[in-house]
Structure 1
Amino acid sequence: MTYWIKFFGLSLALLIILLGCGPNNTPSTSPNTSPKIPSPVPQSITITAVGDFLMHMPVIKSAQLDDGSYDFKPIFTEVKTLLSSADLTIANLETRLAGKEMGYSGYPVFNCPEELALNMKELGIDVVATANNHSLDRGWVGITKTLDHLESAGLQVLGTYRNAEDAQRVFITKIKGINIGIMNYTENTNGIPLPEGREYAVNLLQSDKILKDIGQLRSSGADIIIAYLHFGTEYQRQPNEYQRKVAEELFVQGVDIILGDHVHVIQPMDLNYHSNASQDERKFVAYSLGNFISNQSWRYSNCGLIANMELVKESEKVTLKKVDYVPVWVDTYQSNGQKKYRVLPVQKAIKDFETKKDPLLTELDYKTMQQVWQDTTTLITDACPAISPRNINEASKI
């Protein structure tokens, strides 16, 4: 009897051991212990922004082909990967795309060939801000036709609208689990009144409208709110009191990032911690990104910035982790007797000249780019030492 008891005891112990281990001798989970759920992997995205597409007639003429059509892509060849590599890229369109029948023109009343819309999409731009002081250059028809051409190219458009219903909606997009809300407003329309009965056509920089949009974006689940503002005093390299006041107020109301344009020169950036609801939150303002493309060839207006913002989502909280920038400069050269334009990343172009990789660059270009680099980095570093230009080696790989 004792023998059988010992036999069954040993057999039962062996069975427990076999059932309790897998093929890799890994202990099974206890029935009373819940399996450990791994923490979500942090998500990271990059948002890139550029300033004014200021389409003067010399720039337009440089893109005309023999058959009368237009191709602006060669202007942006050297910066295409810097824009297309981002998860979201935003730009300001400081012209109208109202159609050939209205006549193409530059300053003071802009109208550009509609081919620009598709070229912007091919460049890697996703969102186009259209609320600026030239929004009404071609009246109501200019508003609607510009929207038609941009949307037909697959671009998202902010700031101008066809009807009141569209004007009441806010823009929000989701990228890798991060909800990004974007708003666009202009300080003025060069004295041109809004169309009667269509006052919704252009987003003006008015507090009641902005506060309403912020509230709607937050209630719609926006993790980050970006305000793209057309404001400031033209050709002034420092923000005026109004710009600073607007930025401070928007930060208090819940905006996280402010991107500025209009003044046609670069103004400082600021990356700081702003107290909101007893919690310090990182905020970023670029008062002016300058000109991305234009015919303004003089010092300070012949250049602009590509601003890059890295956002990280971890444990359901989205934070602004890093900001950097790439200074760009507009080079002009002659090809078959025609003036041509191209936007160059300054640091890379300086190196290309020094290593003789770019035969189009002259000694004068080299000196100008060195000046642009010094002007830009000094301005930004003096205002906010925490923001540095993107490393040339990193920029050249993007």
Structure 2
Amino acid sequence: MNFPRVLPALAVVAASLVACSSAEPAAPGREQLAGQASAKPTAPAKPKPKPYTIAFGGDVHFEGILRPRLNNPRTALGPIAGVLRKADLAMINLETAITTGGTPAPGKQFTFRAPASAFTALKSAGVDVVSMANNHGMDYMDSGLEDSLAAIKKSRFPVVGIGADEAQAYKPYRRTVNGNRVSIIGATQVLDDEFIQAWTATPDKGGLASAKNETRLIKAVRQARKNSDTVIVHLHWGTEMQKCPNQAQLSLAPKLVKAGADVVVGGHAHILLGAGYLDNAYISYGLGNFVFYNSNPATTGRTGVLTLTINGRKVLKDTWTPATIQGGVPVPMTGTARTGAIADWKALRSCAGLSAER
């Protein structure tokens, strides 16, 4: 064998093997392939919630001088609609049965009903959800309830506080606004004694969500708290013409806050009551009349829109847009009258035990 010739040839072969091993990586083993197969693409980051606004008006019905306004639903609520439409969400208390028939509740002095076009009018005015949990929601008893539920289903208009059974009556309205998961529950603390049993929803009977059943209402709040960023409870509560919250209100509000409510609002008294902060939550004890046939300019005719700016559980700001009821509908105030009305509204919290700031 000629070693001088063989050695250079072996060197060439070795060099080519080294070059191949560096240019082509070794095939992956089973463990490496399994790891690659189980890897998942990274999910995009969830957008950070941004503040949103929700506007609240008081009690609404369409009786008396208001009924003809439903002939043109687009303008039924008058100029206040502009304030409602500006908010991301808007809500009122619909204090009437939605029916054109039925039998009036026996012995009641005042019974309210309205055709289903009321929902069209509210939607046109920028209202997104209403509560029918109040002392007029079943003014036309069981047949009126059936008509109301049928109208709600047909119109697909969001309504809380009423249902074919207890679960439906306490079920919250849910909507995501600017990344915030908002839940709104409706219930009434005001029911005529003789109608409490007949009007209250149970597991096997339709009716209203009752705040008199505190245990059931608190359960609904706690359930909503589990998967919501903002929990709002809309209540029918208070004593007619009493400008300070009654003991039932003062007792229930902190219980709802403890259960997880971030906002508790409502009305019934026909006049405005105080609003402000209770710990980290926001409470409004009385929004007064809103679209209502009976009004005294100095008392029951004073109304307005409460607009809250909220981010998650924090109510960042409250804004009061004062109005006076003229011809049954709220007309926003201007100039010095507006300034004075805002000051008067802020003064109402002095007897409510609420704070101007968190």
In the superposition, the TM-score normalised over structure 1's length comes to 0.69
Equivalent of 1:207 in 209, 214, 217 = 214
The separation in 2 between residues aligned to 1:242 and 1:382, in whole angstroms, is 18
Change (3 A) 1:342 1:141: same
CA deviations over 1:214-249 (Å, ceiling 9, x no partner): 221122x11111111111100111111221111122
The separation in 2 between residues aligned to 1:87 and 1:200, in whole angstroms, is 31
Which residue pairs with 1:381 in the alignment?
347
Equivalent of 1:188 in 182, 187, 190 = 190
CA deviations over 1:276-334 (Å, ceiling 9, x no partner): xxxxxx21111010111112221210122211111125xxxx422111111121113xx
Change (3 A) 1:109 1:176: same
Equivalent of 1:137 in 127, 136, 139 = 139
Aligned residues: 302
Which residue pairs with 1:5 in the alignment?
none
The separation in 2 between residues aligned to 1:251 and 1:195, in whole angstroms, is 26
AA paired with 1:86? A
Query: 1:98 touches 1:146 (CA, 8 Å); kept in 2?
Result: yes
The separation in 1 between residues aligned to 2:46 and 2:163, in whole angstroms, is 42
Query: 1:194 touches 1:202 (CA, 8 Å); kept in 2?
Result: no
CA deviations over 1:115-162 (Å, ceiling 9, x no partner): 111110111111110000112211122123223323433421100101
Q: How does 1:51-62 map to 2 (within 5 A)?
A: 51-60=58-67, 62=68
Where in structure 1 are there 5+ consecutive unaligned residues?
1-36, 65-69, 275-281, 333-340, 352-369, 388-398
Between 120-129 and 191-200, the greater mean CA deviation after superposition: 191-200
Instruction: Tell me by how many angstroms 1:174 deviates.
Output: 1.5
Correspondence 1:97 to 2:98 = yes
Change (3 A) 1:377 1:296: farther
The separation in 2 between residues aligned to 1:147 and 1:123, in whole angstroms, is 22
For the residue of structure 1 that corresponds to 2:225, the secondary structure is: helix
Which residue pairs with 1:293 in the alignment?
291
Correspondence 1:326 to 2:321 = yes
For the residue of structure 2 that corresponds to 1:89, the secondary structure is: strand
Between 190-199 and 294-303, the greater mean CA deviation after superposition: 190-199
Change (3 A) 1:378 1:218: same
Which residue pairs with 1:18 in the alignment?
none
CA deviations over 1:83-118 (Å, ceiling 9, x no partner): 11211111100111112x449999611111221111
Which residue pairs with 2:28 in the alignment?
none
Larger Rg: 2
Instruction: Tell me by how many angstroms 1:186 deviates.
Output: 0.7
Query: 1:160 touches 1:203 (CA, 8 Å); kept in 2?
Result: yes
Equivalent of 2:272 in 246, 266, 269 = 266
The separation in 2 between residues aligned to 1:41 and 1:176, in whole angstroms, is 9
In the superposition, the TM-score normalised over structure 2's length comes to 0.76
Which residue pairs with 1:87 in the alignment?
88
CA deviations over 1:258-283 (Å, ceiling 9, x no partner): 111111110011124x2xxxxxxx21
Correspondence 1:117 to 2:119 = yes
CA deviations over 1:4-31 (Å, ceiling 9, x no partner): xxxxxxxxxxxxxxxxxxxxxxxxxxxx
Correspondence 1:307 to 2:313 = no
Correspondence 1:150 to 2:156 = no
AA paired with 2:95? E
AA paired with 1:71? N
**RMSD between aligned alpha carbons?**
2.9
Give the % identical residues.
Answer: 22
The separation in 2 between residues aligned to 1:386 and 1:195, in whole angstroms, is 37
AA paired with 2:142? W
